[in-house]
Amino acid sequence: MASQVPVIGAWYEDASQDDIFEVVALDEHSGSIEIQHVGGEVSEIDFETWQQLILLPAEQPEDWRASYELSNEDSHFPDDIYIPDNWNDPLTDIDADTVYGLDDF
């Protein structure tokens, strides 16, 4: 029986199924736990089922990124948000005032 409280980002091994997974989200309102298996598939279990599982703490697998096709370069700054330089720049929406290659000036 699992007496552990699910922790987002923690890896667990279901001893009865020989399955390793990571807890990726908790929804206390609906009473569910979202888990992601090493193969990439996402599933959801409820808190009652969680308490019935035989869980062992597990180490993060070395190849957990393989199913997502992530390289080592992708993990250098995993929390950084990429925003292009010209994103939300109002000047990029302005059309040029040229007619047949001639400028107004």
Quickly count: other Cβ atoms within 10 Å of residue 82's Cβ: 6
Q: Would 87 be classed as within a structural domain?
A: no
Widest distance between CA atoms in the chain: 79
Residue 25 placed within a domain? yes
Q: How many domains does the chain have?
A: 1
Range of the domain at 3: 1-63
Within a domain: residue 51?
A: yes
Q: What are phi and psi of 17, to 5 degrees?
A: -100, -10
Residue 85 lies in a domain: no
Burial 32-64 (b: 16+ CB within 10 A, else e): bbbbbebeeeeeebebeebeebebeebeeeeeb
Quote the percentage of the chain above a pLDDT of 70.
58
Owner of token pair 């279990």:
45
pTM over 0.75: no
CATH number of the domain encompassing residue 47 = 2.30.30
pLDDT digits (tens, 9 = 90+) for 78-98: 566 666 666 677 776 676 666
The predicted structure's pLDDT at residue 12 = 92
Asked whether residue 71 is assigned to any structural domain, the reply reads: no
Each residue of 35-61: pLDDT tens digit? 998 888 889 999 999 999 989 988 887
